[in-house]
Amino acid sequence: MFFYKFSHNSFYTRGYTWAYSWKNSSEYTKICPMCNSPLIVYPDNTIHLTVEGGIKYPDILGCGEYPFLIVSENMINDWERFGITGYKKYKADIVEVKGKRIKDIEPPKYYHIDVIGRAEYDLNAMKCQISIICNNCKRIQYLDSSGKIINVLPDSIIFKNNSWDGSDLFVDSLTPRYIFCTNKILNLAGINERTNCRFVPLDDKDPVSNKGLDYKAIAKKMLRDKRNPLER
């Protein structure tokens, strides 16, 4: 079984449009009564998006206002057909389109994905700590092993043995927008040539120049080698 970090790849691909804003975000933005920080309550409902620029619609749509995982109906169909687990889907409607070249193109239906599969980071092995700043809104900060604040999780992600619940899509509940997946998701995207997906191995560095794995080539090689790409 292989796991990957999974997201859109809009910073490394060209031509795809981008969700510039989430128009009904104010309905889900609250102020935490404990720490007075703004917090987003994850929308268990339809979101409304403005897309801007680009010349085509991708299968994974990046969003600038909030780190949603937004996937096309085609991708959902792949997932439903092959029994992908670990998520709930809600509609992500494009209500406004800006940009000359994208305006005349009919957008696909999109869904935003709330990942409900779970695993737990092995923070000792990752040489890092996560401290919860506020018990109410679960705001966190990352610390290195000496207790110094760091901006992001280390590049190498390690999960505790037996903490993965077996879902194809999963997160550690401390970082619900940092999404992981199985090789089944990668191979399905590769075989069906879904666009703008980003897969990075857990133990791999993720430098700015890294475009992520060539998932289409990986899936095709599996088919050529007559291996079952949907076996986990």
Run of H or E residues at 89: strand 87-98
Residue 41 interacts with Zn ion (CB under 5 A): yes or no: no
**From 28-36, 76-84, 171-179, 223-231, span contacting Zn ion (CB under 5 A):** 28-36
Given the complex with Zn ion, which of 32 and 97 has the nearer CB atom?
A: 32
CB of 149 to Zn ion, least distance (A): 17
Residue 32 interacts with Zn ion (CB under 5 A): yes or no: yes
**From 35-43, 81-89, 160-168, 178-186, span contacting Zn ion (CB under 5 A):** 35-43
CB of 119 to Zn ion, least distance (A): 25
CB of 28 to Zn ion, least distance (A): 15
Cβ 125 vs Cβ 97: under 8 Å: no
**From 34-42, 77-85, 176-184, 188-196, span contacting Zn ion (CB under 5 A):** 34-42
Task: Give me the numbers of helices (H) and strands (E) for the chain, helices first please.
Answer: 4, 16
Given the complex with Zn ion, which of 32 and 128 has the nearer CB atom?
A: 32
Q: Give the three-state DSSP class for 226.
A: coil
Residue 230 interacts with Zn ion (CB under 5 A): yes or no: no
How many residues contact Zn ion, by CB under 5 A?
Answer: 6
For residue 10, give every residue at least 6 positions away whose Cβ sits within 8 Å of its Cβ, in sequence order, or none. Answer: 16, 18, 58, 62, 196
Question: Exactly one of 34, 41, 125, 223 binds Zn ion (CB under 5 A); which one?
Answer: 34
Q: Report residue 107 as tokens.
A: 């957008």
* Of the candidates 140, 112, 113, the residue with the CA atom closest to the CA atom of residue 39: 140
**From 46-54, 126-134, 183-191, 198-206, span contacting Zn ion (CB under 5 A):** 126-134
Cβ 10 vs Cβ 57: under 8 Å: no
Beta bridge partners, 9, equal none
DSSP letter (8 states) at residue 25 = G
Residue list 130-159, contact with Zn ion (CB under 5 A): 134, 136-137
Q: Mind giving me the DSSP string for 103-147?
A: HTSPPPPEEEEEE-EE--B-TTTTTEEEEES-TTT--EEEEETTS
The neighbour count for residue 84, using CB atoms within 10 Å, is 21
**From 33-41, 87-95, 145-153, 199-207, span contacting Zn ion (CB under 5 A):** 33-41
Run of H or E residues at 215: helix 215-224
Distance CA 105, CA 36 (A): 42
Question: Exactly one of 31, 35, 41, 55 binds Zn ion (CB under 5 A); which one?
Answer: 35
Given the complex with Zn ion, which of 32 and 213 has the nearer CB atom?
A: 32
Given the complex with Zn ion, which of 34 and 41 has the nearer CB atom?
A: 34
Given the complex with Zn ion, which of 77 and 136 has the nearer CB atom?
A: 136
Which residues sit at the interface with Zn ion, rule CB under 5 A?
Answer: 32, 34-35, 134, 136-137
